[in-house]
Amino acid sequence: MGFARAAHGWWIRENKREDIQAFVGKSFKALDHAVALCLNIESCQGKQWLEALSGLADVTSGTVAAEAQRATALALTYQGLILSGLDEKDAAQFSLPFREGMTEGNRARRLHDVKAERGDGHRHGWKWSGCRKTAEHEVHALLLLYASDYDDLCMWQSQVEAALSKRGCRVEICVNLTMMKTAEGGMKEHFGFADGISQPLPLDDYWDENDTRADAYQKQGTTYVEPAFTINEELHLSLSERSYNGIPTGDVLFGRPDSFRELPPSPFLSVDEDTAANLLAHGNAPPGFRDFGFDGSYLVVRQLRQDVAGFWADVWKNAEMLGISADEMAARMMGRTPSGELLRPVVDQQTLADVAQSKAIWQLAKQAGNAILPTQATTSEEHGFALADPYGFGCPLGSHVRRANPRDGGAKNAREIPKRLDSVNNHRILRRGRPYGPEVSGPLDGSDSEERGLLFMCLNTDIARQFEFIQETWLLSRQFQQLGETDPILGPNGRYTMQDRPIRRNVDVQTFVHPIGGEYFFLPGMKAIEYLKARQKEES
Amino acid sequence: MDYSIATMALEIHSVQLPRVRQLLDCHFPFDGRTETASGRYEKLRNRIYAELPMLHFFGIMIFEDQHYDPLLAIQINVDGDIGPFWTAIEASFGDELRALIRCSKRPRNREAPLFDTIVADGSTTPLAPYLSMKTRRPVTDYRGARRFSRDRIVSESLLYERVQKELGNGIRWKGQSARAINQTLREKFRAEIKTLSRDPHPWKASFVDWAKLALLVLALLATITITLGATTAILSLILGPGLITSCIIFAIVTVSFLWRKLVKDGRPVPQPRLRSILLFASIGVSVIGAWSWLGTEILVIIYQKLLALKSYACIFVTNDMIAGYLSCLEAAKEIRAVAFPHILNAFLGGLLTLAILVIWLRRLESTDATHDGVKLPNRMMKGMRSYEDWGMQNQMCSLLTVKPGILRTIILRVSHLLLSRLARTLYTNGVLGSMRTIHFAHWAVLNRDGRLIFFSNFDGSWESYLNDFTEKASFGVNLAWSQCLGFPPNMYVILGGSALGRQFKAWARHSMTQSCFWYSAYPHLSVEMIHRNARVAAGLASLHLEDADAWARDL
């Protein structure tokens, strides 16, 4: 658990953080209160709307002091970047998913946001997106305000809104983010489960062509120490060579090589055409050009409405049918206990004896601590499924956490484990989401009219390979693990199988999580924001 | 023949393209929805399913190209041979196919007379011979579920569904042993199990397949060393082995020192790691050493046999068997002493020539124009995307021009020979570098190595399929595609290329076209599911279930 928390801290050296938004490295856990303002800036032309934030809500840079009481993050859609001063031909250098947006017809179908409909139809019930054709409100920018004090946040928010409206900027949607904590102090979502636990760990610094991931990691000299992962030296040395959740920094931050050792396409601006471009970093741009995307990242935002009463009623019904407690039923769907421990199989004496004979599994079991004991759960984020839970008797193969991050689960033998892990880690995302709406208090009587849910936010640099891949190939694919079903939490109504002995049990689950808004944003680096401000000044 | 994969390609008159599209729209309606199909497509699907029982996957594509006339390509994946399929499809869709052939260009070779009789007014000449003539066999093919006929796949899937229904939510079986559950189900489905067509032996690489791979490798080595080393061997015979050996060794050392300058590497491609260089080098040295030794020994044995024959002949004359045998041994020693230097020279010469070929290739590779920032017209991209990801399965079809030059053609052919052999030996049981998502895939060459066509029917999204290529099968993909125009920068054929995920995806997307029609006999099944259904069925059918628990886990 200590390790998992460390992953929320910074992984970029202090002297290189200055131009990166603090949001990239921190989830501002100390700042309990937050609000997400979805802005429409189409009537801001010539009014320098970004200046409205100056002095009032300056975007927080990575060098911010740990005890700061307020923090701000800013992200813009493709249209938002163009409206804010980025030239259209430069913006066209961004990757296709970002340019098209989350609600483009075929994409929305692949993300299961529309059901088998062709064309850019109106998303049923979508409140906002980057395109008016697909939702009620068109949003161009996302402004996130975090504060430690609620009253302070309210006051600050009204000041910011007033300043923005002066410059023609409309607040289309305002999402009040809450912070709910588990008994252990971790973050919790409305269904009552710990959230944001399994995070990838970006390995610091620029990728050197000759470095392995492990080398790059050792060079950094950060303050926290990664626990050694040595299960079975002779079988899979490569696991100990690298970090279990390690990903190249380029997977969450522009300008560095990513998992495929490539650079995410980023707009290169010519200094000859545009003097303001001098404000930008050189980054990876050729001489005479500047790198607009450098130190930025794509921010995927989805507003997911949760029907808590409905969910638990459904869980109760299914639990009763199977003769188990509702908590266990829900945990089996999630793959974790509410406090965030990963489910593990209960092991009988015979298996224990078998395992004792096999060195590899025995050592892993020891590493995992309680994996073999019938406590059924583990807190470590450092080991996979292939050896400890290959058949899903503990954490079901189709459970939410196992779909969202299959780790080494698909490995068919011990030699395949490191390969599997490598390939799975090519698709990780850095999550930054928070719940919104009031916390559920007291028993629900089945009618939950309150608007609440999760504002899912994640950072990645290749939307197609990371966010969309997870959504499409892992969470919502019926081909996943040959189950023929989809995610029990996010997927459409359908069957949900829990592996068991002698045979599996299954139930019919319904969906109580509905997306009601979302878009792909770009979270620019500090220099890119300065550049946009300069461009707006020129224009006016 | 368990199954056949093939491509039938017809060149279309550009002016007839609208007519062809109209014909396809009219007779082969398709909107991408294979699983949730309705209306005309569903009707047609059912008809194909009933009338063409050998057919697994079938697709019709039109490739439009700036440099060539449009190409109508049909991919066929069937049980058994292709011939009977053409006869069967002619019986069902003869008129439609004849209309399509009428829009195609008249061949300019021996196929022309047959073409003329087929397209003649009111002609009733059978189409099958012509279609067979136009059919191209793949240079490399791959199948994820070998030896599974369509009927077997479908009937096992139906059995699995019935078993699932019987098991219900699983509660009432609690406390029973897996073996007892197996027994109960076996009783229940006795009738169905009997009708299952069973193949007791899962497909495994046979001795013949391995032998063919070994033979291919030997033949390649022999070609390189003997034909390419022949010059040096002759020179060595004329000028004496010592001089030639020292010359070649000097040349090899020079080449290896000047390697970096000679290959002119101007592109940032990932450099091979020292470990893999050493691995390849050691394999090369040991193989060439062994081959060289083998060559000498073969020569010695031949000579010994000849001498032995001669000495047997002598037996009757002189009765001096021992002397004959001794002279035989002496002669062998002599041969070794005389022949070995020449043979070694031949191999060293081969090595040098190979190095020069590699440098040549590397220079070509480093100056090849690559298509890094491929941008498709929005309409094309949307068109393709709108036909994808409607169900579990997807298809990919691409047509590419092969880079010009003799070396490229040779490499293309050799790579595919190697790849097709590897697909039958190492990548058996449907697992291609730990991925098991491909139902049928094949590469075929058109226009005498001028163009390379690729068809694949796979599980999951296109994005994840291409990711698998990059992550797990980049070696094979480079072998298959690296000789095509615009391929991402690669090195020594197998490095780089498809390992550059983003570029490779963009390039591959560019080579594709929207499918006009696609048929899958079992759109709701993935390769893994087919294998699982087979395991469940086998567990019910076999009398001695070894691991009942493992069987029950598949339920």
Three-state SS for B278-324 is: HHHHHHHHHHHHHHHHHHHHHHHHHHHHHHHHHHHHHHHHHCCHHHH
* A49, A57 Cβ separation under 8 angstroms: no
Contact A505 B463 (CB under 8 A): no
Q: Which residues of A touch B386 (CB under 8 A)?
A: 105-106, 118
**Hunting for tokens 């069902």 — which residue is that?**
B92
Taking the CA atoms of residue B481, residue B487, residue B490 and residue B494 in that order, the dihedral angle to the nearest 10 degrees is: -10
Contact A499 B500 (CB under 8 A): no
Between the CA of residue A346 and those of A302, A333, A342, A393, what are the distances in Å?
Answer: 36, 17, 13, 8
Question: What's residue A523's pLDDT?
Answer: 96
Is A514 near chain B, with CB under 8 Å?
no
Question: What's residue A333's pLDDT?
Answer: 92
Which of A118, A209, A503 lies at the smallest CB-CB distance from B170?
Answer: A503
Contact A479 B467 (CB under 8 A): no
Question: What's residue A3's pLDDT?
Answer: 34
Which of A261, A321, A482 lies at the smallest CB-CB distance from B529?
Answer: A482
DSSP state, residue A277: G
| Distance of residue A471 Cα from the nearest chain B Cα, in angstroms | 11
| Distance of residue A381 Cα from the nearest chain B Cα, in angstroms | 24
* Residue ranges in B199-273 assigned as alpha helix (H): 207-222, 228-239, 241-263
Taking the CA atoms of residue B103, residue B105, residue B111 and residue B114 in that order, the dihedral angle to the nearest 10 degrees is: 30
| Distance of residue B71 Cα from the nearest chain A Cα, in angstroms | 27
B169, HSE (Cβ side, Cα atoms, 13 Å): 14
SS3 content of chain A, % helix, strand, coil (to 5): 30, 20, 50
Contact B176 A502 (CB under 8 A): yes
Q: Which residues of A touch B173 (CB under 8 A)?
A: 502-503
Which residues partner with A306 through β-bridges?
A: A513
Give the DSSP per-residue string, A230-275: -S-TTT-HHHHHS-TTEEEGGGTSTTS--TTS-PPP-PEEETTT-G
* A193, A336 Cβ separation under 8 angstroms: yes
Which of B169, B176, B373 lies at the smallest CB-CB distance from A507?
Answer: B169
**Residues within 8 A of A (CB atoms), B 46-65 only:** none
**Hunting for tokens 């929207």 — which residue is that?**
B514
By the 10 Å C-beta count (0-12 exposed, 13-18 middle, 19+ buried), A18 is classed as middle
Contact A262 B178 (CB under 8 A): no
Q: Which residues of B touch A412 (CB under 8 A)?
A: 434
d(CA A501, CA B491) in angstroms, rounded, equals 51
CB count, 10 Å around CB of A376?
19
Which of A109, A116, A473 lies at the smallest CB-CB distance from B464?
Answer: A473
Q: Which residues of B touch A467 (CB under 8 A)?
A: none
Q: Which residues of B touch A463 (CB under 8 A)?
A: none
Sorted by sequence, the CB contacts under 8 Å of residue B387 that are 6+ apart come out as B30, B31, B32, B514, B515, B518
| Distance of residue B177 Cα from the nearest chain A Cα, in angstroms | 6
Contact A484 B529 (CB under 8 A): yes
* A502, B176 Cβ separation under 8 angstroms: yes
* Per-position pLDDT tens, chain B of length 555: 588 999 999 999 999 999 999 999 888 888 777 766 678 888 899 999 999 999 999 999 999 888 888 999 999 999 988 989 999 999 999 899 999 999 999 998 888 999 999 998 888 889 999 999 999 999 998 888 877 889 889 999 999 999 999 988 888 888 888 888 888 888 888 887 777 766 655 556 677 888 888 899 888 877 776 776 777 778 877 887 778 777 877 787 777 667 666 665 544 444 556 676 677 777 767 776 777 777 778 877 777 777 777 666 655 555 556 666 666 667 677 777 777 777 777 777 887 888 888 888 888 887 888 777 667 777 888 888 888 888 889 999 999 999 988 889 999 999 999 988 888 887 765 555 556 888 999 999 988 888 999 999 999 889 888 888 888 888 888 999 989 988 888 888 888 888 888 888 888 988 888 888 999 999 999 998 998 998 888 888 876 777 788 888 888
Q: Which residues of B touch A416 (CB under 8 A)?
A: 434
Q: Which residues of B touch A482 (CB under 8 A)?
A: 526, 528-529, 532
> Residue B212: helix, strand or coil by DSSP?
helix
Q: Which residues of B touch A473 (CB under 8 A)?
A: 460-461, 463-464
Name the residue in chain A with its Cα closest to that of B527: A482
* B473, B432 Cβ separation under 8 angstroms: yes
List b or e across A210-222, with b for residues whose CB sees 16 or more CB atoms inside 10 angstroms. Answer: eeebbebbeeeee
Between the CA of residue B416 and those of B160, B397, B429, B449, what are the distances in Å?
Answer: 38, 18, 20, 12
Q: Which residues of A touch B501 (CB under 8 A)?
A: 259-260, 262, 465
Cis peptide bond upstream of A502, omega within 30: yes
Q: Which residues of B touch A479 (CB under 8 A)?
A: 392, 437, 459-460, 526, 528-529
Contact A423 B528 (CB under 8 A): no
| Distance of residue A173 Cα from the nearest chain B Cα, in angstroms | 30
> Which among A497, A504, A508 is the top mutation candidate for probing chain B, defined by the most B β-carbons within 10 Å of its own β-carbon?
A504
What spatial distance separates the first Cα and last Cα of chain B, rounded to whole Å? 32
* A17, A61 Cβ separation under 8 angstroms: yes
| Distance of residue A65 Cα from the nearest chain B Cα, in angstroms | 37
Which DSSP helix (H) or strand (E) runs through A98?
helix A96-100
Q: Is B454 left (phi over 0), alpha (psi -120 to 50) or beta?
A: beta
Closest CA to B322 of A214, B314, B201: B314
**Residues within 8 A of A (CB atoms), B 496-525 only:** 499-503, 524
- Condensed to tens digits (0 to 9), the pLDDT of residues B289-319 reads 777 777 778 877 777 777 777 666 655 555 5
Strands A180-181 and A342-343: unpaired
Contact A322 B169 (CB under 8 A): yes
* pTM of the full structure: 0.86
| Distance of residue B154 Cα from the nearest chain A Cα, in angstroms | 16
Dihedral of alpha carbons B536, B539, B540, B541, sign: positive
- Phi and psi dihedrals of B11, rounded to 5? -80, 135
Taking the CA atoms of residue B288, residue B291, residue B293 and residue B297 in that order, the dihedral angle to the nearest 10 degrees is: -170
CB count, 10 Å around CB of B220?
13
Contact A209 B382 (CB under 8 A): no
**Residues within 8 A of B (CB atoms), A 456-485 only:** 462, 464-465, 468-469, 472-473, 477-479, 482, 484
**Residues within 8 A of A (CB atoms), B 130-159 only:** none
Question: What's residue B388's pLDDT?
Answer: 86
**Hunting for tokens 């607040």 — which residue is that?**
A171
Is A324 near chain B, with CB under 8 Å?
no
Is A100 near chain B, with CB under 8 Å?
no
Is A350 near chain B, with CB under 8 Å?
no
Contact A323 B467 (CB under 8 A): no
Is B404 near chain A, with CB under 8 Å?
no
Closest CA to B60 of B29, B38, B35, B85: B29
d(CA A515, CA A456) in angstroms, rounded, equals 10
CB count, 10 Å around CB of B331?
15
Number of A:B CB contacts under 8 A?
A: 116
Name the residue in chain B with its Cα closest to that of A478: B392
* Per-position pLDDT tens, chain A of length 540: 223 334 446 777 777 788 999 999 888 888 899 999 999 999 888 888 999 898 888 999 988 887 889 999 999 999 999 999 899 999 999 998 999 999 888 888 888 887 644 444 445 678 999 988 888 899 999 999 999 999 999 999 999 999 999 998 999 999 999 988 887 778 889 998 888 887 887 775 433 333 333 333 333 332 222 222 222 232 233 333 456 777 888 889 998 888 887 788 899 999 888 888 888 988 888 888 999 999 999 999 999 999 888 898 899 999 999 888 888 899 999 988 888 888 877 665 555 555 555 544 444 444 443 333 333 344 455 567 777 778 888 889 999 999 999 888 877 766 677 778 888 888 999 999 999 998 887 666 666 678 899 999 999 999 999 999 999 999 998 888 888 899 999 988 889 999 888 888 999 999 899 899 999 999 999 999 999 999 998 887
d(CA B224, CA B287) in angstroms, rounded, equals 13
Contact B470 A323 (CB under 8 A): no
Closest CA to B502 of B388, B384, B373, B415: B373
Sorted by sequence, the CB contacts under 8 Å of residue A88 that are 6+ apart come out as A82
d(CA B353, CA B345) in angstroms, rounded, equals 12
Closest CA to A203 of A253, A161, A168: A253
Taking the CA atoms of residue A501, residue A502, residue A503 and residue A505 in that order, the dihedral angle to the nearest 10 degrees is: -50
Is A286 near chain B, with CB under 8 Å?
no
Give the DSSP per-residue string, B70-89: -EEEEEEEEES-HHHHHHHH
Residue type, B174: K
Token duo for residue B49:
């399913």
B72, HSE (Cβ side, Cα atoms, 13 Å): 26
Is A415 near chain B, with CB under 8 Å?
no
**Hunting for tokens 């459904």 — which residue is that?**
A314
Is B460 near chain A, with CB under 8 Å?
yes
Contact B271 A209 (CB under 8 A): yes
Strands B3-11 and B135-136: antiparallel
Give the DSSP per-residue string, A481-512: GG-----TTTSPSEEEEE--SSS-EEEEE---
> Residue A375: helix, strand or coil by DSSP?
coil
Which DSSP helix (H) or strand (E) runs through B10?
strand B3-11
d(CA B309, CA B299) in angstroms, rounded, equals 15
Which residues partner with A120 through β-bridges?
A: none
| Helical packing angle, B406-425 and B321-367, nearest 10° | 110
SS3 content of chain B, % helix, strand, coil (to 5): 60, 15, 25
Supply the ipTM of this predicted assembly: 0.84
By the 10 Å C-beta count (0-12 exposed, 13-18 middle, 19+ buried), B354 is classed as middle
CB count, 10 Å around CB of B266?
9
Is A238 near chain B, with CB under 8 Å?
no
**Hunting for tokens 């066929």 — which residue is that?**
B76
**Residues within 8 A of A (CB atoms), B 97-136 only:** none
> Which among A208, A260, A426, A427 is the top mutation candidate for probing chain B, defined by the most B β-carbons within 10 Å of its own β-carbon?
A260
